[in-house]
Amino acid sequence: VKYMIMMFGDAASMGEVQSPEWIREMIGDMIAIDKDLTDSGELVFQAGLTDSSMAKTMRYADGGPVAVTDGPYAESKESLIGFWIVDVESDERLREIVGRIVKWSGVVEVRPLGEAPTDF
């Protein structure tokens, strides 16, 4: 089953609240996680995002050009900073993977991807 694992936070402010050692260890572990998921054949796609201050929100405007405002869609301190799409055999395996990520982020949101209907 394919899941999206979403990590929230603020990468830039890491420099204000964490030690250089903590950041270095986190970077090393993130690289190792990506490599392990690639090697196991479970990684579909992963990406890190730039800071939420780089976000623009674009809205439908009736008859006019798209309305653009600076900033993220949802105002919150913690916004999406990275995600993985993994294809795993079991919930147990999913929890194993997530366990390595939440060590650094505290919390992630996990959601199954919508799938094609099976009995059509």
Partner 1 sequence: VRTPVDDLLRELAPRVLGTLVRRHGQFEACEDAVQEALIAAARQWPADGIPDDPRAWLVAVAGRKLVDAWRSESARREREKTVFDLEPADTGTAADTDDTLDLLVLCCHPAVSPSSQLALTLRAVGGLTTGEIASAFLVPEATMAQRISRAKAAIKSAGARFGEVSTTELTERMAVVRQVLYLVFNEGYASSGGDRTQRTELTTEAIRLTRMLLAASTDLPQAIPETTGLLALMLLTDARRAARERAGELIPLAEQDRALWDAGRIAEGVALIERTLGTGAIGPYQVQAAIAAVHDEAPTDAATDWRQILALYEVLEGIAPGPVVTLNRAVALARVDGPRAGLALLGTLDDDARLEHSHRLDAVRAHLLELAGDLPAAREAYVRAARRAGSLPEQRYLAIRAAQLGE
Cβ neighbors of 72 (< 8 A, separation 6 or more) are: 52, 55, 57, 79
Give the count of residues interacting with partner 1 (CB under 8 A).
Answer: 22
- Residue 113 in contact with partner 1, rule: CB under 8 A: no
Comparing CB distances to partner 1, the nearer of 54 and 61 is 54
Stretch that binds partner 1, among 7-15, 71-79, 93-101, 102-110 (CB under 8 A): 7-15
Window 42 to 81, contacts with partner 1 (CB under 8 A): 47-48, 50-51, 53-54
Distance CA 99, CA 93 (A): 10
Partners of residue 73 on adjacent β-strands: none
Distance CA 52, CA 33 (A): 23
Comparing CB distances to partner 1, the nearer of 20 and 63 is 20
Other Cβ atoms less than 10 A from the Cβ of 92: the count is 8
- Residue 28 in contact with partner 1, rule: CB under 8 A: yes
Among the listed residues 34, 44, 47, the one whose alpha carbon sits nearest the alpha carbon of residue 86: 44
Q: How distant is the alpha carbon of residue 119 from its chain centre? A: 31
- Residue 87 in contact with partner 1, rule: CB under 8 A: no
Given 20, 41, 114, 117, the residue binding partner 1 (CB under 8 A): 20
Q: Point out which residues bind partner 1 (CB under 8 A).
A: 11-16, 18-20, 22-24, 27-28, 30-31, 47-48, 50-51, 53-54
